C-alpha cells in the first residue's frame, strides 16, 4: 500500500494569492436535555472560530471526531445557521449579525461529503445528477448543460459512457469522483471536502487527493479539507488549523505545525500517526481517550485542560487567546517550545 507520509510535498501558500475567505468569531450552539425532566443545556459546538483562506489555497481542518469540524462546514454552506460571527467570501458578506444570510445556492461554496454511497440519488443517472445544480441555477439550454456535464466528467477522469449509468454501477472511488464533479460543475470559489477520502482504500485515496490537487491547479479552487488523518493532511494541505472542542487551538503552515507543534493536543495528534524520521515531541504518547462532552457556553478555561499534562491553575481559570508566533498561532499558556513550570 502507498504510505502517504512518504509523499510529503512540502507545499507553501500559493505565491501572490489574495484572501478569499474570512470567518470571524463564528459560534454555534445546540440545545439538549440530559434527562426527560431536566432543563435544556446549551452545548457549544463552535466557539469563536476564526480562519482565513487565500485564493487557490488548501487548508486542512483537523481534529478528532466531535470537535466541530463538520459543524463548521455545515455553517459555511448554509446547512446550519451560526449563532454569532461573520463570514465573507471574495469580499462578499455571506452572513453576519446585521446581515441577511445568503441562500446556499448563492454562496459560491460547495461540499463533498464522506460517504460516496449515500451522497448520490440511486434513482437518478449520472447526467441528471450532474445537471441538477445547473438546472437550479437556470440560464442554460439542455444542450449547454449536457456539454458541461461531459466536460466535468472529463475533469474528474470518468468516461463519456458514464452519462446514462446509475450510482450502483460505479466503484466507491468512481462515486466520489461523481460527487466531486457535481460539486464543481456550478463553478464554486470554495470547495469543502469533509473526510472525502476516509471511506476509500488507500490506493484510491491517493487518486482522489491527486484529483483535488489537479482541480486546484486547473480551476484555481480554494479547498478546505476536513480530516482526522494527519498523513492525508500533510500530503495535501498548504496550511493546517487544529480544532478541539469547538475552538481553534493552533494554525500555521503545514510543515511548521507538523515539525514544531506548539499546542500539546497537536503534538498528540501527530504522535498518534508514527512516522519514520519524525521526532517525538517532549515524549508525548498517542492520546486514545474518548472525547469529553461538548463544552458548555461561557466556560472560562482552556478546552484541553482535562487531558493536558502541562496544565496549571491559570489553564483552569481562563481560556488562552491565540498567540501569534513566526507566522503561526496557538492557544496555550504553556506551549511545547517553552520550559514547563
User: Per the domain annotation, does 133 fall within a domain?
Assistant: yes
Pairing of strands 239-244, 58-62: parallel
Contact 6, 206 (CB under 8 A): no
User: Per the domain annotation, does 210 fall within a domain?
Assistant: no
Length in residues, the chain: 341
> What is the model's pTM?
0.85
Q: Domains in the chain: how many in total?
A: 1
pLDDT tens by residue, 47-59: 999 999 999 999 9
Question: How far apart, in whole angstroms, are the C-alpha atoms of residue 322 and residue 52?
Answer: 14
pLDDT tens by residue, 183-195: 999 999 999 999 8
User: Per the domain annotation, does 43 fall within a domain?
Assistant: no
Instruction: Find which of 32-46, 214-228, 296-310, 327-341 is predicted with most confidence, using mean pLDDT.
Output: 214-228
266, exposed or middle or buried, with CB in 10 Å at 0-12, 13-18, 19+?
Answer: buried
Pairing of strands 84-89, 19-32: antiparallel
CA angle at 137 for the pair 136 and 142, rounded to the nearest 5°: 75
The radius of gyration of the chain from alpha carbons, rounded to an integer in Å, stands at 21
State the sign of the Cα–Cα–Cα–Cα dihedral 48, 63, 336, 325: negative
User: Per the domain annotation, does 146 fall within a domain?
Assistant: yes
User: Per the domain annotation, does 192 fall within a domain?
Assistant: no
Question: How far apart, in whole angstroms, are the C-alpha atoms of residue 58 and residue 239?
Answer: 7
pLDDT tens by residue, 216-268: 999 999 999 999 888 889 999 999 999 999 999 999 999 999 999 999 999 99
User: Per the domain annotation, does 149 fall within a domain?
Assistant: yes
Q: How many CB atoms within 10 Å of residue 196?
A: 29
pLDDT tens by residue, 76-135: 999 999 999 999 999 899 999 888 889 888 899 999 988 888 889 999 999 999 999 899
Backbone φ, ψ for residue 266 (5° rounding): -60, -45
Contact 239, 328 (CB under 8 A): no
Give the structural domain span for 179: 117-187
Helix (H) or strand (E) segment spanning residue 265: helix 264-271
Pairing of strands 247-253, 239-244: antiparallel
User: Per the domain annotation, does 127 fall within a domain?
Assistant: yes
| Distance from the first to the final alpha carbon of the chain | 44
The rounded mean pLDDT for the chain is 84
Contact 333, 318 (CB under 8 A): no
User: DSSP class of residue 255?
Assistant: H
Q: What confidence score (pLDDT) does residue 278 get?
A: 46
pLDDT tens by residue, 254-303: 999 999 999 999 999 888 765 544 444 444 444 434 444 445 545 578 99
State the sign of the Cα–Cα–Cα–Cα dihedral 109, 183, 131, 149: positive
User: Per the domain annotation, does 278 fall within a domain?
Assistant: no
Question: How far apart, in whole angstroms, are the C-alpha atoms of residue 110 and residue 189?
Answer: 8
Question: How far apart, in whole angstroms, are the C-alpha atoms of residue 208 and residue 114?
Answer: 12
Amino acid at each position: 500500500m502507498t504510505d502517504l507520509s512518504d509523499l510529503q510535498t512540502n507545499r507553501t501558500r500559493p505565491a501572490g494569492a489574495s484572501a478569499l475567505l474570512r470567518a470571524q468569531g463564528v459560534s454555534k450552539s445546540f440545545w439538549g436535555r440530559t434527562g426527560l425532566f431536566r432543563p435544556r443545556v446549551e452545548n457549544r459546538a463552535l466557539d469563536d472560530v476564526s480562519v482565513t483562506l487565500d485564493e487557490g489555497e488548501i487548508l486542512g481542518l483537523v481534529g478528532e471526531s466531535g470537535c466541530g469540524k463538520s459543524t463548521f462546514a455545515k455553517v459555511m454552506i448554509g446547512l446550519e445557521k451560526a449563532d454569532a460571527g461573520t463570514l465573507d467570501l471574495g469580499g462578499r458578506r455571506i452572513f453576519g449579525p446585521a446581515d441577511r444570510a445568503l441562500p446556499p445556492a448563492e454562496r459560491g461554496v460547495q461540499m463533498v461529503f464522506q460517504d460516496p454511497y449515500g451522497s448520490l440519488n440511486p434513482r437518478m443517472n449520472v447526467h441528471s445528477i450532474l445537471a441538477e445544480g445547473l438546472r437550479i441555477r437556470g440560464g442554460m439550454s439542455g444542450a449547454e448543460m449536457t456539454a458541461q456535464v461531459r466536460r466535468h466528467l472529463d475533469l474528474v477522469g470518468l468516461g463519456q459512457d458514464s452519462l446514462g449509468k446509475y450510482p450502483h454501477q460505479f466503484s466507491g472511488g468512481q462515486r466520489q469522483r461523481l460527487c466531486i464533479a457535481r460539486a464543481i460543475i456550478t463553478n464554486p470559489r470554495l470547495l469543502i471536502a469533509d473526510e472525502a477520502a476516509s471511506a476509500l482504500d488507500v490506493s484510491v485515496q491517493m487518486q482522489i487527493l491527486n484529483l483535488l490537487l489537479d482541480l486546484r491547479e486547473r480551476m484555481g479552487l480554494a479547498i478546505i479539507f476536513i480530516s482526522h488523518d494527519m498523513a492525508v493532511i500533510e500530503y495535501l494541505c498548504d496550511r493546517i488549523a487544529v480544532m478541539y472542542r469547538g475552538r481553534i487551538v493552533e494554525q500555521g503552515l503545514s510543515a511548521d505545525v507538523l515539525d514544531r507543534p506548539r499546542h500539546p493536543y497537536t503534538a498528540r495528534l501527530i504522535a498518534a500517526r508514527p512516522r519514520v524520521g519524525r521526532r517525538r515531541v517532549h515524549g508525548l504518547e498517542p492520546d486514545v481517550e474518548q472525547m469529553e462532552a461538548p463544552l458548555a457556553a461561557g466556560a472560562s478555561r482552556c478546552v484541553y485542560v482535562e487531558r493536558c499534562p502541562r496544565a496549571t491553575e491559570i489553564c483552569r481559570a481562563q481560556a488562552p487567546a491565540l498567540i501569534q508566533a513566526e507566522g503561526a498561532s496557538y492557544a496555550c499558556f504553556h506551549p511545547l517550545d517553552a520550559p514547563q513550570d
